[in-house]
Amino acid sequence: MPTVIEPKIISGNANRPLAESVARRMSLYRGMSVNLVDARVERFNDGEIFVEVFENVRGEDMYIMQSTSNPANDNLMELLIMADALRRSSASRITAVMPYFGYARQDRRTKARTPISAKLVANMIAEAGIERVLTMDLHAAQIQGFFDIPVDNLYASPIFALDIKNQFKGQLEDVMIVSPDVGGVARARELAKRINAPLSIVDKRREKPGEIAEMTVIGNVEGKKCIVVDDMCDTAGTLCKAAEVILEHGATEVHAYISHGVMSGPAVERVSNSVLKTLVLTDTIQPTDAVKNAPNIRILPTAPLFAQSIMNIWNGHSVSSLFETDVLGPIYEGIL
């Protein structure tokens, strides 16, 4: 067993560029080279996942970087199998760094005979030998209670606040934060407080799932630069419709800040052809080429935040200190 337990990062195939960025940031913080653990995560011809770790990890503090984004089932199995490989290789501690936690939308029974998939995934993660989870902007905060292991839920709002203050410098008095639904008010209110901006809400009513019957703006958005805040953007239908309604109520322009850019199906095309001036996403989910090339989509990096969080966990320091914009400011200096 090594005399000094080092933090080591291993990456699955879900978002390897983010894992490499985190390793580079940790190298900068530590003043020494931090590289991803040499391993292969491959598939047999029938789709079964195979993992082989080429380095000695006995007694090491291991961090698995793996979002459970599309394809969610493959990426989840990669995470579980990597954890099993590390546990059987006598790693000292295994932390799952899941920038995007898939299956989080199934966090309760909305009708009879439906699963609570988020709880099932939490059980699988703990059973695989993972001792801690680090994630960002869970779809529902109560999912932390589904785990019997520590869960650190980071927030994108401090990063958003830094970017908004930079992008709207000298215009903050005209900015209004908008929640796209009643359920996201707490998230929107937190960001509004950080930049000292007013808050508005878009109330949507559905006649049946997948179809929006009516949208109503609660609050006066006339003459405001409105920023819609949400945790994820999937097909972008609701987001683009909300932007149209906000403009119809007198807003001068509409922007959106979204934590997780799922961007499935026609999402990129919808956003590109929408009235949204800009859509700002984080890189918790690896952006596709279509997302990168969209004229009104911009990507914010999360590597500095995850790198510092891993360092804090390794050193036994507070992770919640990173919730503050003042603490993140120096970390993101020169980046935003």
Residues 6+ apart with CB under 8 A from 52: 39, 40, 85
Q: Which of 107, 179, 111 is nearest to 140 (CA)?
A: 107
Strand 39-43 to 7-11 pairing: unpaired
Instruction: Find out whether 152 is annotated in a ligand binding site.
Output: no
Amino acid at 210: G
- Tell me, yes or no, if 8 is annotated catalytic: no
Smallest Cα–Cα separation from 41: which of 83, 82, 80?
82
Annotated binding residue at 190?
no
- Catalytic residue, chosen from 8, 119, 193, 204, is 204
Report phi then psi at 87, rounded to 5.
Answer: -65, -40
237 is in an annotated binding site: yes
Give whole-number Cα distances, 69 to 74, 97, 158, 179, 287, in Å.
9, 13, 23, 24, 11
Residue 230 marked as a ligand binder: yes
36 secondary structure, DSSP code: B
Instruction: For residue 192, say whether it is annotated as part of any ligand binding site.
Output: no
184 is in an annotated binding site: no
105 is in an annotated binding site: yes
Q: Per the annotation, does 139 bind a ligand?
A: yes
Q: Is 186 annotated as a binding residue?
A: no
**Closest to 24 measured CA to CA, from 44, 40, 4, 9:** 9
185-195 and 157-167 are packed helices; what angle lies between their axes, rounded to 10 degrees?
50
User: Is 46 annotated as belonging to a binding site?
Assistant: yes
Q: How far apart are CA 162 and CA 157, in angstroms?
A: 9
Q: What does the alpha-carbon distance between residue 196 and residue 19 come to, in Å, rounded to a whole number?
A: 33
Who contacts 96 (Cβ-Cβ below 8 Å, separation ≥6)? Answer: 64, 66, 79, 83, 125, 130, 132, 133, 134
> Quick one: angle between helices 72-88 and 117-127, nearest 10?
20
Catalytic residues, which ones?
204
Residues in binding site for ATP: 46-48, 105-106
Residues in binding site for D-ribose 5-phosphate: 206, 230, 234-238
Residues in binding site for Mg(2+): 139, 181
